[in-house]
Structure 1
Amino acid sequence: MDWSKAKTILIVAFIITNILLVYVIMGENHISNEPTIKDEFIEDVIKLLKDKNITVSTQIPKDIPHLNAMTVEYENVNIQELNRNYFNNNGIIEQDGEDLAKIVKDDESILVINDRFIIYENKREREIYKDLDKDKAIQLSEEFISKGQFQASDMKLTFIKEDKGIFYLEYSKIYGDILVERTFTNFQIDKRGIKKFERLWLNEKDFGEVEIYISTAPKSILTLLGMQEAYGKTLADISLCYYFDPEKHDYLGEPKDAKQGKAVPAWRIQFDDGYKIFIDEY
């Protein structure tokens, strides 16, 4: 057993219990008087996080979080359609069993894994966009999405940064105004244009009738106190999302075989470097 980690978890649990006890004593035990969304509790949370060098640079939501469960399924990818949309049917398709397919055309390639995960790579050396900036990178990503005939109405740009001449963009799925995780459409763009594109997408199927409540955001982010990967980071966004993790459902042995499952409410914690943590405590 990792006694150091176990000790940290026990300390975090003790802190949460004691803070909650104070505010339960101070207020009525009613949803409108929820102690963990009071300003005093939130201030204590921010101080505790600061002790672990975790900075909060965004508003911490004060609502009582709940959503109906959502059934989601992976977007199915057709290798023939990708060849037509991106290479005008001029790419060479290579099939390696049922799980792997690849299209190659000159210095470009598209790899498709399990009929759902797309990886496009461009290895051309010629620079086309000498004055590449943030706006141009976004434009190029949108044009690439349109060229592949992917639906853009359920996509939202949630992260962009530039590092050594490469723009990194991440689009997240949205349903209404709620983000759906874990799914992504990511780009790497430099002066050559689209350098790399990765997409693993989920589509909604139906919804459960019962609302699922989870812990409030201030209480949930106390979990970060026991996560060393969060130490030294700046918390840039906290938002309620639908969260699907096949490893937590019926596909523990072979999560790659999951085709659909239940997405539940969770807190999506995003740091300023793009790193994300999901907390779905009840």
Structure 2
Amino acid sequence: MDWSKAKTILIVAFIITNVLLIYILIGEKTIDEPTLNEDFIEDVVKLLEHKNISINTHIPTEIPCLYTMNVSYEKMKLEKLNEMFFKGKGDLIENKDAFGQIIKDNESLVITNNKLIIYENKEEKKIFGNLDKEKAIQIAEDFLKEKNFDTSDMEMTFIKEEKGTFYIEYSKMYNDVFVERAFTNFQIDKRGVKRFERLWFIVEDLGETEIYISTAPKALLALLDIEEIYGKTITNISLCYYFDPQKHDYLEEPEETIQGKAIPAWRIQFQDGYKVFIDDY
């Protein structure tokens, strides 16, 4: 036996074994983030309770990060909306760059800045006898299908009934992550769709660098200074992409913004549908 060669093989094997052990140990090691400790989370919950803010959902405990996202607003021409909503038979009352209006019988549609759509139905005739939650959702989904809206990037995130009217909100999704602040909202009663509002995003691309933000427990502390949410119950805490022209470098003419950069943020939704976004780095 060549002992010199054998020793060389054993040394190489020993080095490889040590490298593998180091890799495993590093891979299993977790980051010691104090704001994710159970004691810290319990303290946050107690502080919120002092402001009468309760939590009825899971508090995420991961180290949060997302890429930046470039988004643009979904833009619609008045002529296309006339085809979608009225089969081209509506009367175009105004058709300017920043404002358009269509009227057909007791229905009307307004679009501002080619992006915010508001449809209203003032017909008094009641079509649906017994209207419940499931039926209201079905009416909304049928409406979206009939008007040829793509629903693959939509998720219903809120519904409530008040005095015979159902209020339904759909949010924009991208790979199971919310993209805010885009919305598709309905008001539905026994006449069907009473009111429809839509302001939607198109995802252009993602940035190349991950951005880390504060953990969810730490971000929740920002709620202590927001008086309008005192007494509310948190029902969802999610990481999201967040774009708000009024906040992110578009202060001169935010209503005319057509595109921009969405950043990682925490999306905190309450039982009454109210939402707060915290993009603390």
- TM-score using structure 1 length: 0.88
Cα distance 1:96–1:80, how it changes in 2: closer, same or farther (>3 A)? closer
Paired residue type of 1:247: Q
Match of 1:142 in 2: 141
Aligned residues: 253
CA 1:31–1:210 in structure 2 vs 1: closer, same or farther (change >3 Å)?
farther
TM-fit CA distance, 1:198: 0.1
2:253 maps to which residue?
254
1:239-279 Cα shifts (integer Å, max 9, x gaps): 00000011122310110111100000000010000000000
Find the counterpart in structure 2 of residue 243 from structure 1: 242
In 1, Cα distance between equivalents of 2:198 and 2:233: 27
- In the alignment, residue 268 of structure 2 is paired with which amino acid? I
Which structure 2 residues correspond to residues 23-172 of structure 1 after superposition, within 5 A? 32-95=31-94, 97-172=96-171
CA distance in 2: counterparts of 1:266 and 1:59, whole angstroms: 17
Code of the residue aligned with 2:260 in structure 1: it is G
What residue number does 1:208 align with? 207
Aligned to 1:178: 177
- CA–CA distance in structure 2, aligned partners of residues 88 and 263 of structure 1: 35
Q: Whole-Å Cα distance in 2 between the matches of residues 34 and 249 of structure 1?
A: 29
Gaps of 5+ in 1: 1-29
Structure 1 segments, 4+ long, off by >2 Å, are none
Structure-2 change in CA distance of 1:31 and 1:255 (3 Å): farther
Report the 3-state secondary structure (helix = DSSP H, G, I; strand = E; otherwise coil) of the residue aligned with 1:33.
coil
Name which one, 1 or 2, has greater alpha-carbon Rg. Answer: 2
Q: Separation in 1 of the partners of 2:39 and 2:249? A: 40
Counterpart-to-counterpart distance in 1, 2:133 and 2:118: 22
CA contact (8 A) 1:235 1:271 kept: yes
**Paired residues of 2:107 and 2:120 also in contact (CA < 8 A):** yes
Residue type of the alignment partner of 1:208: G
**Residue 17 (structure 1) aligns with:** none
Counterpart of 1:84, as a letter, is E
- Quick one: distance in 1 between partners of 2:191 and 2:46? 45
State the Cα distance separating 1:96 from its structure 2 match.
5.2
Instruction: Indicate conservation of the 8 Å contact 1:140/1:194, yes or no.
Output: yes
Pair 1:193 & 2:196 matched: no
Residue 69 of structure 1 aligns with an amino acid whose one-letter code is T
Q: Percent identity?
A: 57
TM-superposed CA distance for 1:31, in Å, is 6.2
Query: Quick one: distance in 2 between partners of 1:257 and 1:112?
Result: 13
What's the CA shift string for 1:80-107, capped at 9, x where partnerless? Answer: 1111122111100122532110110000
User: Structure 2-normalised TM-score?
Assistant: 0.88
Contact in 1 for aligned 2:78/2:95 (Cα 8 Å):
no
- Whole-angstrom distance in 2 between the partners of 1:31 and 1:217: 17
Q: Which deviates the most, 232-241 or 77-86?
A: 77-86
Q: Which residue of 2 aligns with 1:3?
A: none
In 2, distance between residues paired with 1:98 and 1:177? 34
- Of the structure 1 ranges 66-75 and 144-153, higher mean CA displacement relative to structure 2 is found in 144-153
What is aligned with 2:15?
none
How far is the alpha carbon of 1:32 from its aligned partner? 1.6
CA offset at residue 150 of structure 1? 1.2
Structure 2: distance between partners of 1:125 and 1:225: 45
SS in 2 for 1:246: coil
SS in 1 for 2:31: helix
Q: In 2, distance between residues paired with 1:207 and 1:179?
A: 14
Q: Which runs of 5+ in 2 are unaligned?
A: 1-28
